[in-house]
Amino acid sequence: MLKNLLSMSGMNVLKSGLQFAMTVMMTYFAAPAEFGLVTFSLPFVGFIALLTDLGMSSAMVQRRTLDRDEAGAAITLICAIGLVCAVILAAIAAPLASGLDMEGLGSVLATLSISVVLSIAALGPRAVLERHLRYQTVATVEIVAVVVSVITCVAGAFLGWGVWALVSYYVVVQVVRSAAFAIIARRDVRLNFQWSRVRSILTFGGWVLASNLLNFAGRAVGNLLIGGAVGAAAVGLYGLAYQIMILPLMVITWPGSGVLMATLSRQAVTGSLKQRNEIICGVLSLTAAVVFPSMLYLSFGADYLFTAFFPAKWTGIIPLVGLMAIAGAAQSITAYSGAMLLSRGKAQLQFWVSTANSLSTIVAFVVGLRFGLIGIIKIYLAVTLIVSIATMLITSWETNLPVANLVRALAPATVATILGLIAANRAMEIPASPASAWLLGTTAYIVTIAICYLLFHRQLVRSLLGLRDLELSKERVPAT
């Protein structure tokens, strides 16, 4: 399991690093308003991808048996619905841009509809590979796709494409992904239109779809509300801060959740509850050990970093990053609840948990609109922390994971990060220039966390070795 986790996390570290470097570079070629056009469009693209998936990709991974014809029928159904929805999106692009008075939105949204079809075409074949626990293959494809698309974006930026360089990234990455996954998974899939064969997949997938749509609504509402009420420039600032906030989710938690769900689904056949809980706690402990210190560092380090390395037109992002980084750290743990519940077949409970999470997020943004952009983020952070604690307590109870085990798993990272922040703030009180204060604070932070991790080294090493030594058989899709 550790090999799969490292493959997916390593892939996402490289992928996110390249994406973030590309984004930073694009801040010199595009204004916040231009970023806002793409940021505002992406929720529509993501919504269609989730809607047409129907939760079937997760169901394909979770099912105990899946033959080639069932996989093929599911893939053709997903692609057919996705094509129709993408055409609709392209058709409404111009009227939507006119109604919101966002110049350029129509052409950007219509072009991104192409990426919708390609993204959907990649879902099914990738799910088949994940079902076989072929995560190293998945990681390789994702890395190649990002490298090719980043090169395209960078070349376009220097050729003067402007915002279209950023749009090209989202289109090219899906071209490579859809082609590669289709070719690699072709022997395990027999395409057909016998859609009646996927009824059982749809039954489970329906609850997954509902949960995914609610989670998506909770994440996308910020772009839409801020863009509609405050304007493209504000949503551009929020969008970049949001990308930073979800870095740990993209790099660790989302790929880790896929590996965790597939592993727990296979483990449920012969494994014990004790082993299951050890797997979960190991994943949570190692995730927190990486994410908590790195994200909370931005609560004091973002000021100098963004002032020194970003164009002056982006300085408004600094207070947003510090607050949203805390929310990102909390969500990096909470997001595992879906994998924990779905692996136990509790799709309906996952739906209701997602409902509560999404509704609370939407309410937070609606209430916060009257307080401006910073007010929105402060309310969002408070709600996120409350909901994250409640979600993990519910998930712990429903999956027979003792709360004491959960607390113990998160203790090393939590204690180290809190003490690190105290040490950093004390060090930065020493009179010095901004650069010296940042350097002193950063040094104190790193040293304090390193000492704490040495004190907790037995628990961290035990979690690491437990995942390394876990071996599960890889299922082959039966041919019919």
pTM exceeding 0.85: no
pLDDT of 91 above 50: yes
Cβ distance 34 to 214 under 8 Å? no
Q: Is the pLDDT of residue 392 over 60?
A: yes
- Alpha carbon 346 to chain centroid distance? 22
* Alpha carbon distance 280, 401 (integer Å): 9
Q: What is the CA radius of gyration of the chain?
A: 22
Identify which of 477, 174, 461, 215 has the alpha carbon closest to the alpha carbon of residue 337.
215
Angstrom distance (rounded) from CA 202 to CA 225? 32
Structure confidence at residue 478 (pLDDT): 44
Q: Give pLDDT, residue 284.
A: 92
Judge whether residue 224 has pLDDT over 70.
Answer: no
Residues 47 and 263: their CA atoms lie apart, in Å, by 27
Of the two residues 228 and 291, the one the predictor is more confident about is 291
Average pLDDT of the chain is: 80
DSSP string covering 372-405: HHHHHHHHHHHHHHHHHHHHHHHHHHHTT--HHH
Cα 190 from Cα 432, distance rounded (Å): 67
- pLDDT, residue 423, reads 94
Residue 322 — very low, low, confident or very high, per pLDDT cuts 50/70/90?
Answer: confident
pLDDT band at 242; cut points 50, 70, 90: confident
Q: Is the pLDDT of residue 479 over 50?
A: no
Closest CA to 258 of 338, 176, 348, 140: 338
Task: Spell out the alpha helix ranges (H) of 54-162.
Answer: 56-62, 68-100, 105-131, 135-158
Among 35-44, 73-82, 174-183, which stretch is predicted with the lowest mean pLDDT?
Answer: 35-44
pLDDT in tens, 246-266: 888 877 887 788 778 777 776
Closest residue by Cα to residue 81 from 157, 172, 250, 195: 195
Terminal-to-terminal C-alpha distance of the chain: 29
Alpha helices in 254-313 (DSSP H): 254-267, 273-296, 298-309
User: Tokens representing 255?
Assistant: 């790929």
Q: What are phi and psi of 364, to 5 degrees?
A: -60, -45
Q: How high is the pLDDT of residue 444? A: 94
Give CA–CA dist 120/181, Å, rounded: 11
Residue with tokens 């909390």: 330
Q: What is the SS3 assignment for 467?
A: helix
pLDDT at 7: 61
Q: pLDDT over 70 for what percent of the chain?
A: 81
The half-sphere exposure of 296 on its side-chain side, counting CA atoms within 13 A, is 25
pLDDT at 461: 85
Between CA 257 and CA 263 the distance in angstroms is: 10
* pLDDT tens digits for range 120-174: 888 888 888 887 777 788 888 888 998 999 899 989 988 888 888 888 888 898 8
pLDDT of residue 243 exceeding 90: no
pLDDT 10s digits, 36-77:
778 777 777 776 666 655 566 666 776 667 778 888 888 888
In contact, 352 and 297? CB cutoff 8 Å: no
Q: Quick one: pLDDT at residue 271?
A: 64
For residue 279, give every residue at least 6 positions away whose Cβ sits within 8 Å of its Cβ, in sequence order, or none: 1, 260, 263, 264, 267, 466, 467, 470
Give the residue among 322, 318, 281, 305 at the shortest CA–CA distance from 421. 322
CB 40 within 8 Å of CB 227: yes
Task: Give 95's pLDDT tier (boundaries 50, 70, 90).
Answer: confident
E strands present in 223-324: none
Which residue type is seen at 200?
S
